[in-house]
Structure 1
């Protein structure tokens, strides 16, 4: 039996250990590698072939959306499953738009992990049922949401601004120039009708992007 080779990308060792426990007795799935940050994952993916990449959206060095984009640049056929704490529909939409094939939250039934990996390895998208229902409901309710005005990159920077990162910190995290980071920040505020970073944070709270 050919096994599905998986790489686990998460900055928490206990989370990766939990995934390995869940998958260790699954005959057709093999955890072939682990990475604790985005840059480590990129190096492994450049030099090895994995059938499915399981990654968090919140990593210490690279934003999840940026990581998905970089992985797809390395290999456009990469099959990526996002497993994260972010339950907001806008995160799901942005991850899928960036190239992920699946999305599930860390609060989902743990037994669904192997199902998601198998489904994605066969080239089929996977979104857990609860998220799928929310996407259908919120998609019709919030189709005119101001967040829909943002591109994938703008949404990523919007989230970082809302978390309190300044322009310089964002430029370093995303490996872009200070000027580019500043331009994005200005454009985001303009699209959202925001004047200050505090305004950006309030919008993020309204849409449950950050919690208070």
Structure 2
């Protein structure tokens, strides 16, 4: 039996996926969490065989959760299950330590296959993301954005979403000075001189959509 920690901030979404997983004789959701902090606490108290997490979570994102869980337990097996179809998110998730990335538009069978692959220690991507990543690499798209570290990518998203330096520092468990240093490095790597240019690029590259920017 594969014990799963399911992390998503929408209770209805968790209920739907819990029901799907419960139909499988070898899968069981043994714990749930609505945000990264709760997920980290639950995993620390009782590690599960596998973690399935969204990226968009209140406070720290799923990317930060992946990195923290891997620091806590080097062999933690994590599958990211996200609405984001931008290959940059998948690349950052894998860089953070996730073994798999599946989009929420994928068929249920693809999620179930990914769960078993990740539990076996194998890397897996949903078909749409695998194709998008291949095309991205062929075209060498967004090389500046791909040069960002996982932390820089996360801080970029939080900055352009309008979060203050202090709130970013608190959610990522780092100092405000570190956030400011990363802010400078991000602008230098992206070749921009202002936050307005940085935000424009983030929207253009679909790192943050207009609905997120408006708080939708």
- Pick the TM interval, shorter chain: over 0.9
Q: Please state how far the C-alpha of 1:138 moved relative to its aligned partner.
A: 0.7
Q: CA RMSD in A?
A: 1.3
Q: Name 1:42's counterpart in structure 2.
A: 40
Aligned residue number for residue 8 of structure 2: 10
1:125 pairs, out of 123, 126, 141, with 123
Q: Which residue of 2 aligns with 1:140?
A: 138
Cα contact 1:22–1:111 (8 A) shared by 2: no
> Aligned equivalents of 2:94 and 2:104: distance in 1?
17
- Report the equivalent of 2:214: none
Distance (Å, rounded) in 2 between the aligned partners of 1:154 and 1:190: 12
1:43 CA drift (Å): 1.3
Aligned to 2:213: none
Describe how 1:55-204 pairs up with structure 2 within 5 A: 55-142=53-140, 145-204=143-202
How high is the TM-score relative to the length of structure 2?
A: 0.93
Q: How many angstroms apart in 2 are the aligned matches of 1:208 and 1:66? A: 19
Contact kept in structure 2, 1:167 and 1:185, CA below 8 Å: no
Work out the CA distance in 2 between the residues paired with 1:190 and 1:168: 21
Closer, same or farther in 2 for the Cα pair 1:172/1:49, shift >3 Å? Answer: closer
Answer whether contact 1:161 1:200 (CA < 8 A) is retained.
Answer: no
TM-score under structure 1 normalisation?
Answer: 0.94
5+ long unaligned stretches in structure 1: none
CA apart distance, 1:123: 0.9
Work out the number of aligned pairs and report it.
210
Gaps of 5+ in 2: 211-216
| Distance (whole Å) between structure 1 residues aligned to residue 23 and residue 177 of structure 2 | 50
